[in-house]
Structure 1
Amino acid sequence: MSRITFDPNQCGGRPCIRGMRIRVKDVLELLAAGETEESILADYPYLEREDVRAVPSGYFKWSNQGRSLNPLV
């Protein structure tokens, strides 16, 4: 199962988690702000632990393709 999905017609083509409208950027910002996996999973019960753990590698895969998570870039 691909945890990180890319659809040009969803969320401005930004990487999302399993085709849902939760962007990798959103979860990455929560992690950067110090949120724990447990608190993210409690706030977003439709996410799975493996989804949260896939976010850092999904971000690096996206950025290594020369893309930005910033919608203005």
Structure 2
Amino acid sequence: MTIDRIELDPEIMGGRPRIRGTRVTVSVVVGLLGAGHSVADVLDAYPYLAREDVDAALQYAAWRLEEREVPLRAA
């Protein structure tokens, strides 16, 4: 899965996924929306973000939730 607006760099924000070229993490965006703030509120709080950045954060979060961790059994 490639979402070009999301970056992961272990040297920035502890490697947490963030909006490309910023220090705004996906979790901040999703957390604000989950707390009832509108997309307009997020964009007002972070005027250097675009609507497409918010959409990418949601897309990335949804993709991550679809991943499954399967424990390995000892042979």
Higher gyration radius (CA): 2
Which 4+ stretches in 1 moved above 3 angstroms? 60-63
* Length-normalised TM-score, structure 1: 0.78
- Long gaps (5+) in structure 1: 67-73
Query: RMSD value over aligned CA atoms?
Result: 1.8
Among candidates 27, 30, 33, match of residue 29 of structure 2: 27
CA–CA distance in structure 1, aligned partners of residues 16 and 36 of structure 2: 23
- Equivalent positions of 1:4-43 (< 5 A) are 4-43=6-45
Give the conservation status (yes or no) of the 8 Å contact 1:24–1:59.
Answer: yes
Q: Please give the alpha-carbon distance, in whole angstroms, between the structure 2 residues aligned to 1:30 and 1:40.
A: 7
Q: Is the 8 A contact 1:15 1:62 kept in 2?
A: no
Normalization by structure 2: what TM-score?
0.76
Measured after TM superposition, the shift of residue 60 of structure 1 is 3.2
Counterpart residue identity of residue 33, structure 1: A
Aligned-pair identity in percent equals 42
Report the CA distance between 1:17 and its aligned residue. Answer: 0.1
**Any idea what the Cα deviations from partners look like across 1:19-44, whole Å, max 9, x if unmatched?**
31110000010010011111111111
Deviation at 1:56, TM superposition (A): 1.6
